[in-house]
Amino acid sequence: QQQVKQSPQSLIVQKGGISIINCAYENTAFDYFPWYQQFPGKGPALLIAIRPDVSEKKEGRFTISFNKSAKQFSLHIMDSQPGDSATYFCAARPSNYQLIWGAGTKLIIKP
């Protein structure tokens, strides 16, 4: 079965630090890699996404790095803030458009 493996399961980062969450996939036919952010009591919401024809995408303090040969992609949060504390999900989309989800990472930013 196709999988997306996400790590770590939880992460504590000091305010101002860099948060890094990693995902690895197996299927080379994936064509879209989104990251979703979920705050407590809310549904996930799209944060940032990348397609495999680029190696990096940056939106404000959030950057996706994509390594096609290693089949890995990661989310970097620069200058992490307490308001970034949330659960983050990576995902990958195969040709049938049903997203394959990572297990999630609970991020806590300590003031």
Partner 1 sequence: EAQVTQNPRYLITVTGKKLTVTCSQNMNHEYMSWYRQDPGLGLRQIYYSMNVEVTDKGDVPEGYKVSRKEKRNFPLILESPSPNQTSLYFCASRRPGLAGAEQFFGPGTRLTVL
Please give the Cα distance from 41 to 86 (Å, whole number): 10
Binding region for partner 1 (CB under 8 A) out of 12-20, 53-61, 62-70, 91-99? 91-99
Q: Are 69 and 50 in contact (CB under 8 A)?
A: no
Query: Does the protein bind partner 1 through residue 33 (CB under 8 A)?
Result: no
Query: Does the protein bind partner 1 through residue 53 (CB under 8 A)?
Result: no
CB hemisphere CA count around 69 (13 angstroms) = 0
Please give the residue ranges that form the binding site for partner 1 (CB under 8 A).
Answer: 6, 9, 32, 34, 36, 41-46, 49, 89, 93, 97-99, 101-104
